[in-house]
Structure 1
Amino acid sequence: MESLLSLAFDNLSSYDGIKIKKGLKQVEGLLAQICLSSPRPSSRQTPADPLGIQSSSESQRPPRKVLADLSSDPAFREFFKLQDGFEWNIAQRLLPTLDWLVARGGDGQYDLLIVNALDLIQGVLLLHPPSKVLFSRTMHMNLLLDLIEPVNCPAVQSATIITLVVALLDCPQNTRVFERLDGLLTITSLFKDPDTVREVKFRLTEFLYFYLTPETPSIPKASSSNQGGNGNNNGLLQRSPSKLVGAFGAGGGKRDRSVSESSGAVLSVETKKHYVDRYLPGVVDLLVKDLDTYKPFGGILS
Structure 2
Amino acid sequence: MESLLRTAYENLCSEDVRTVKVGLRQAESVVFQVSKPTEENRVPLSIFLKLQESFLYNLTTPCLQAFGQLVKVHYEAVQAQDADTETLVCKLLCDILHVMEGLVLLHPPSQLCYNSEAVLDLFGRLLRVSQPVTLQVAAVKTLVCVMVDRPIVMRAFERIGGLARVCMLFKNKQTHQQTKLQALEFFYFYLSPEPYTLEHEPYRKTRTEKQAYLSTFLSNVDGLRKDLDTFQPFGRLDESHD
TM-score, length-scaled by structure 1: 0.71
Letter in 2 for 1:116: D
- Structure 2 portions without partners, runs of 5+: 79-85
Write the distance in 2 (CA, Å) between the matches of 1:84 and 1:264.
24
Write the distance in 2 (CA, Å) between the matches of 1:75 and 1:286.
45
Of 103, 112, 118, the residue aligned with 1:124 is 103
1:206 aligns with 2:185: yes
The structure in which a higher percent of residues are helix is 2
Partner residue in 1 for 2:207? 269
- Deviation of 1:263 after TM superposition, in Å, equals 8.3
SS, match of residue 215 in structure 2: helix
- Deviation of 1:39 after TM superposition, in Å, equals 4.0
Partner residue in 1 for 2:18? 18
Q: Once the two structures are aligned, what percentage of the paired residues are identical?
A: 33
- Structure 1 portions without partners, runs of 5+: 41-61, 63-72, 221-261
SS, match of residue 278 in structure 1: coil
- When residues 2 and 218 of structure 1 are mapped into structure 2, their CA distance, relative to the original with a 3 A threshold, is farther
Partner residue in 2 for 1:293? 230
Kept in 2, the 8 Å contact 1:170–1:218? The answer is no
Write the distance in 2 (CA, Å) between the matches of 1:28 and 1:175.
26
SS, match of residue 279 in structure 1: coil
Kept in 1, the 8 Å contact 2:37–2:43? The answer is no
1:36 aligns with 2:69: no
Provide, for residues 113-143 of structure 1, a one-character-per-residue CA deviation record: whole Å limited to 9, x for no partner: 0001100000001101001111111111111
The count of aligned residue pairs is 229
Write the distance in 2 (CA, Å) between the matches of 1:32 and 1:184.
31
1:87 aligns with 2:56: yes
Write the distance in 1 (CA, Å) between the matches of 2:55 and 2:201.
23
- Deviation of 1:76 after TM superposition, in Å, equals 1.1
Letter in 1 for 2:110: S
SS, match of residue 168 in structure 2: helix
Choose 176-185 or 123-132, whichever is displaced more. Answer: 176-185
Write the distance in 2 (CA, Å) between the matches of 1:115 and 1:23.
15
Write the distance in 2 (CA, Å) between the matches of 1:159 and 1:24.
16
- When residues 172 and 127 of structure 1 are mapped into structure 2, their CA distance, relative to the original with a 3 A threshold, is same
Of 277, 280, 286, the residue aligned with 2:218 is 280
Partner residue in 1 for 2:81? none
Partner residue in 2 for 1:254? none
Q: How does 1:127-276 map to 2 (within 5 A)?
A: 127-217=106-196, 264-276=202-214
CA root-mean-square deviation:
2.2
TM-score, length-scaled by structure 2: 0.88
Kept in 2, the 8 Å contact 1:171–1:219? The answer is no
Ranked by relative contact order (alpha carbons within 8 Å, sequence separation 6 or more), the top structure is 1
- When residues 93 and 33 of structure 1 are mapped into structure 2, their CA distance, relative to the original with a 3 A threshold, is same
Provide, for residues 224-254 of structure 1, a one-character-per-residue CA deviation record: whole Å limited to 9, x for no partner: xxxxxxxxxxxxxxxxxxxxxxxxxxxxxxx
Choose 166-175 or 15-24, whichever is displaced more. Answer: 15-24
Partner residue in 1 for 2:82? none
Kept in 2, the 8 Å contact 1:190–1:196? The answer is yes
Partner residue in 2 for 1:256? none
- Deviation of 1:165 after TM superposition, in Å, equals 0.4
Structure showing greater Rg: 1
Write the distance in 2 (CA, Å) between the matches of 1:17 and 1:102.
11
